[in-house]
Structure 1
Amino acid sequence: YFGEGIGIGLRKNDQALLEAFNQAIDAIRANGTYQKINAKYFDFDLFGE
């Protein structure tokens, strides 16, 4: 229905957790860790094109 995609569930009102999660994702994307993990386990980019 929504097509290919990946989602993460977080507590709706936990802004601190959301910010920490987003900062962590930004950090691993910036330092190349995300690309290594993505290439090892998936045949598509989790963030899309």
Structure 2
Amino acid sequence: TFRMINFFRIHFLYISFFKKCSKMNCLLNIRNLYTESIETYKKCIQNVFFPYT
């Protein structure tokens, strides 16, 4: 449960960050950060789930 809470906290940080960014209308930056965050998500998911399966 703790790992999932950690994961959701990271998820929440990304969402709040994107909302701030969209308010500033930096759409290109959001797109770049979003693709980077997907990679980070993949690593995060692997770190959270695979070592414990």
TM range (shorter): 0.3 to 0.5
The structure whose RCO (Cα within 8 Å, separation 6+) is larger is: 2
TM superposition score normalised by structure 1: 0.43
- TM-score, length-scaled by structure 2: 0.40
More helix by share: 2
